[in-house]
Structure 1
Amino acid sequence: MGEGERYQEFEPPAALRPFVRTLWTYAAPAPEPTVQRIAPDGCPELILDIGAPYEEQGEDGVFRLQPQALFAGQMTRPLALRPVGPVELVAVRFEPDGARDWLARPLAEATDRRLDMTARLAGVTAPADDPEAQVEVMVRLLEDHRRRHAWSLDPTVRVELEAAFADQPSLVRSAADQRALQRRFRDRVGVPPRMLRSILRFRRVFDHAQGPEALGWLEAGLEAGYFDQPQLACDFRRFLGCTATEWARDQVGLARSLASQSYKPGPLSPH
């Protein structure tokens, strides 16, 4: 990490654990002014910027400033960000199906979108350079909403998610039940079950490509479940918009921190 740069993850309290995977903070007083590529990870997020928000590249190639507070839905394509000043933020990474009651609308409406939460989080402030206090602010916000709105999970969706995270096959279902599952995923997760599995497989590549026993990209891809190098290369283009070599060479800042800490899918939080 660069001078003064920090990334930290925090466990959610027990009452939030079925819905929230982790809370995390990131700060970079002097970020490198380069484009950072963020890959899908299967989890929606709520993000509050304490410093200068990032610029996000739109489909037209133009960079536009993100709102100070945003909800990032499921991603099916790469996200390109660029810092414009000192960065500091606190974020909630929900479980794939954990944000439905917070958002109060189908998750499909947020897929590949960053929804402006500035009005909804009006009056919510977090102190600078105090990760623990920043996380406490978000925990209080979520806990209050959870109690008032009685958050819940869809057991059928959670069973399918558990199989996906464990890299186990789906349950055998009738055509009607499979269509119903697709509808439930659209509402609760935001992407179909097959797409989520593709995202998780891609994220597993980084699990095998980093750490003390790191493998090369091809070997990591084979361990993650890819058949060959062309299939892996296709997903790098699909989910990161570049080759594995380009990504490894260019990753900086937040992209590097998320890659080193958060690519591992891991089990779902307990019910």
Structure 2
Amino acid sequence: MPTYHEFPPPAPLRLAVDALWCVNPTTPGPAVSPLRVLPDGCVDLIFRFGGTTGEGQLSLVGPTDRAFLLDGAMPAPAVGVRFRPGMAAGRLGVRPPDLYRREVAVDRALPQLGAWQERLRGSASPVEALRVLRWAAASMPTRSAPGVSARVGRAVELLGRGWRVASTAAVLGVSERTLRRDLVETVGLPPKVLARVLRFQGAVRLLDARADADLASLALDAGYFDHAHMNRDFREFAGLSPTAFGHERRAAADSSKRRAGEDGTLKSWIWDT
């Protein structure tokens, strides 16, 4: 399984960026497992190193409502910046619904990022590429209207806390139709789907923190009616039951911790702000 490292963004980026991350390939072999990537309502700007076949490619990966598996035998590292739900539209000038379940090269989607792609192609390591992505994210202007941006950010916060769509719209002083339009345009997912994805992500965090917890009580704490309700979402969004997902997640975390301890350069990057 490829090893995944995630880093919190520096303070100036925290409102727009959820994390910067790096995926390192493992030694090829018959038992190499894929890495499960979960839906989260985010848009990622990703640079894949070219390995032995090319120069590397900068691309956008849009929002999705299902997990996908990253090939365990990937030939070279990849680094990325993950924009919080609703933030890529204003920072990158893209329409997330156009990226739904898609990965699109910036040459086609955002040719104005060509200069950053060239700088990334000149990076000697994932650490250097992460620094370039951090600078790129910090230099991007905000293009969306401030009122809409603030409303979307607040809507994502409330939906993530378990609020109903109707209650969220009422608190924001807009109709449900307006809220739906704003979220589809800036996040790429309709409100009810986004609310389910955010609730699922909350359950994943609880499962990570409470590996030995009773799943029925964990489901209630995550905002589900019962264990069966949570189980349906896990099977839809992760492709696994909560129990099977937890086992896979812990195995991946143990592998990443071992690699992080061995990789001093990536570990030191966290403090090099």
TM-score by length of 1: 0.73
Q: CA 1:144/1:22 → structure 2, altered by over 3 Å: closer, same or farther?
A: same
* Match in the other structure for 1:75: 64
What secondary structure, in the 3-state scheme, does the structure 1 residue paired with 2:118 have?
Answer: coil
Q: Which residue of 1 aligns with 2:46?
A: 47
- Larger proportion of helix: 2
Q: 2:18 aligns with which of 21, 25, 34?
A: 21
> In 1, distance between residues paired with 2:33 and 2:106?
26
- Return 5+ residue gaps in structure 1 as ranges: 54-66, 258-271
Q: Superposed, which structure 2 residues align to 1:1-271 within 5 Å? A: 5=3, 7-14=5-12, 16-30=13-27, 33-50=32-49, 68-118=57-107, 120=111, 121=114, 122-125=117-120, 127-131=123-127, 133-146=128-141, 150=143, 153=146, 154-169=149-164, 170-171=167-168, 173=170, 177-211=175-209, 214-251=212-249
Q: What amino acid maps onto 2:138 in structure 1? A: E
1:182-207 Cα offsets, whole Å, 9 max, x none, are 11111111111221111111111122
Q: One-letter code of the match for 1:104?
A: G
Once the two structures are superposed, residues 18-62 of structure 1 have per-residue CA deviations (whole angstroms, 9 ceiling, x without a partner) of 322222223234266323322211211111112659xxxxxxxxx
- Whole-angstrom CA distance in 2 between matches of 1:72 and 1:236: 22
- Does the residue aligned with 1:124 lie in a helix, a strand or coil? helix
**Equivalent residue number for residue 265 of structure 2:** none
* Distance (whole Å) between structure 1 residues aligned to residue 254 and residue 145 of structure 2: 32
CA–CA distance in 2 between the matches of 1:77 and 1:8?
Answer: 21
**Higher relative contact order (CA closer than 8 Å, sequence separation 6+):** 1
Provide the rounded CA distance (Å) in 2 between the counterparts of 1:167 and 1:39: 19
CA contact (8 A) 1:108 1:190 kept: yes
Q: 2:119 is matched by which residue type in structure 1?
A: V
Structure-2 change in CA distance of 1:117 and 1:137 (3 Å): same
Unpaired runs of at least 5, structure 2: 257-273
Q: Report if aligned partners of 2:162, 2:223 keep a CA contact under 8 Å in 1.
A: no
Query: How many corresponding residue pairs?
Result: 238
Report if aligned partners of 1:38, 1:255 keep a CA contact under 8 Å in 2.
no
CA contact (8 A) 2:45 2:59 kept: yes
SS of corresponding position for 1:171: helix
Note if contact 1:30-1:86 (Cα within 8 Å) is conserved in structure 2: no
Q: CA RMSD in A?
A: 3.3
CA shift, 1:87, in A, is: 3.8
Distance change in 2, residues 1:36/1:255 (3 Å):
farther
C-alpha displacement of 1:7? 1.2
Q: Is the 8 A contact 1:48 1:70 kept in 2?
A: yes
Could you tell me how far apart the structure 1 residues matched to 2:253 and 2:210 are? 21
Report the alpha carbon displacement of residue 151 of structure 1 after superposing the two structures with TM.
Answer: 5.9
* TM-superposition CA deviations, 1:201-258 (whole Å, max 9, x none): 111112222236741433322210111222112111210122223333445659986x
> Which has the larger displacement, 194-203 or 170-179?
170-179
Quote the Cα distance in structure 1 between the aligned partners of 2:136 and 2:62.
19
Conservation of the 8 A alpha-carbon contact between 2:41 and 2:85: yes
Q: 1:6 touches 1:27 (CA, 8 Å); kept in 2?
A: yes
For the Cα contact (< 8 Å) 2:208–2:246, is it kept in 1? no
Moved more, 28-37 or 194-203: 28-37
